[in-house]
Amino acid sequence: MGNSTTASGAPAPSAAPASASGTAAPAAPGRSGEARRMTKKAPAASSRASGSGHAERVFLVQTAFAELGGSAHGPGEIAEFTGLDDSVVYRILQSGIYQRIFERVDRGLYRLRTSAAQLAFTALDHRLDGAQSVLRDLRTATDGGLAFLYMVAPFSGAQRQCVDMAVGDSDLAELGMTPRDVLSVTRSLRTGASGRTILAYLPEVLQQRVLAEPVPDQAGPGVYRDNDALVESLAEVRDLGHALGYEECMAGWNSCAAPIMWDGSIMGAVLLLKLKSVMPVAPDSVIEATKEAAAELSRYGAARPDADRD
């Protein structure tokens, strides 16, 4: 947690297309999905061959809701993003309403139903079994550093929450960490090494939401207050695969963080925290240990190629 830099090795998130139409009418005759794909080069469909099956088109529409950001979208916007024909998207949305996958929130606007969240929670079940052991090993490898596991908050998409830690017999209150620090300052993605690590891999639409937020009042003296400097630090995070924080969240504490990536998506970050008096600058040994802990937790969530072949 501190004014720093650092990065990751995964590709930078692609910018989400701007909001588009909310009309529910089918596409004009003759405007095929293939033609749209050639002219718009929609990111979600560009790597796939057209006409590859109804199931794939349904998945493309579902994915569009997640990648576009925002609360609701119209068939035209989704069609433009996926490269599918407007009429195809409209039929999928109507069928999805009946199947309780989508819901219509306004004339011509749709969103995912909350049942989609249940699917996500089911997919995450047991993925982090063993995380405590990884954090304890990190604490040992860094000579008593405080190890924390932060994950993207499930109900915001642009915040983080601490879900596990290895701090030994340390009393966080005696170390100057109050509940307010944990619940407010460290929740923001614009503060701290772990916050900026997660922010670096979020879609641009969510990054812009975070950049529009004020800096928490209780942030440390090293927090990034200038948005241009903050954005520049995110590029370093992606380049280096880790972030170094210098008193970003709290005075007197420096940190190192590395990203947890599951199937190409940012899920959280491992954070190693030490007193500034003990770690004025993070040594290579701390950086490598933190990155290895994050890599181990990334492996927990990765799809298994052997299983895919079965």
For residue range 200-214, what is the model confidence (pLDDT) as tens digits?
999 888 899 899 999
Q: Does a structural domain hold residue 87?
A: yes
pLDDT higher than threshold 80 for residue 243: yes
Which of 66, 88, 118 represents a domain boundary (last residue)? 118
What pLDDT does residue 161 have?
A: 85
211-235 pLDDT per residue, tens = 999 998 888 999 999 999 999 999 9
The pLDDT tens digits for 18-48 are 333 334 444 333 334 444 433 343 444 433 3
pLDDT at 104 over 80: yes
Rounded average pLDDT over 81-94: 88
Chain-centre distance for alpha carbon 201:
6
Q: Are residues 241 and 291 in the same domain?
A: yes
Judged by phi (left if over 0) then psi (alpha if -120 to 50, else beta), residue 208 lies in: alpha
Q: Please state the separation of Cα 72 from the chain's center in Å.
A: 19
| Number of other residues whose CB lies within 10 A of the CB of residue 41 | 10
**In what order do the strands lie in the sheet containing 7-8?**
7-8, 241-246, 253-262, 265-275, 146-152, 160-166
Is residue 66 domain-shared with residue 193, that is, in the same domain?
no
Please determine, for residue 69, whether its predicted confidence score (pLDDT) is greater than 80. Answer: no
Q: For residue 80, is pLDDT > 80? A: yes
Average confidence (pLDDT) over 7-21: 40
Residue 237 lies in a domain: yes
Judgement on whether residues 136 and 112 belong to the same structural domain of the protein: no
Asked if residue 104 is part of any domain, the answer here is yes
User: Same structural domain for residues 203 and 252?
Assistant: yes
Q: Comparing C-alpha atoms, which of 151, 147, 152 is closest to residue 135?
A: 147
The answer on 79 and 195 residing in a single domain is no
CATH code of the domain covering residue 278: 3.30.450.40
Asked if 240 and 258 sit in the same domain, the reply is: yes
| Within a domain: 86 | yes
Res. 271: pLDDT tops 80 = yes
Average pLDDT score over the chain:
77
pLDDT at 283 over 90: yes
**17 located within any domain:** no
Mean pLDDT of 77-99: 87
Same domain, 147 and 217: yes
Q: Which residues form the domain of 95?
A: 54-118
| Same domain assignment for residues 99 and 145 | no
The pLDDT value given to residue 101: 81
Q: At 57, which helix (H) or strand (E)?
A: helix 54-68
Contact 261, 10 (CB under 8 A): yes
Q: Is residue 190 part of a domain?
A: yes
29 lies in some domain: no
Q: How many domains does the chain have?
A: 2
The residues, ordered by sequence, that sit 6+ positions from 221 with a Cβ below 8 Å of its Cβ are 3, 247, 251
Residue 245: pLDDT above 50?
A: yes
Q: What is the mean pLDDT of residues 241-262?
A: 94
Minimal CA–CA distance to 204: which of 10, 14, 4?
A: 14
pTM for the predicted model, two decimal places: 0.63
Tell me the pLDDT tens digit for each residue of 135-170: 999 999 999 999 999 988 766 558 888 888 898 887
Whether the predicted pLDDT of 53 surpasses 50? yes
In percent, the amount of the chain with pLDDT more than 90 equals: 36
Mean pLDDT of the region 259-281: 93
Q: Is 105 a member of any domain?
A: yes
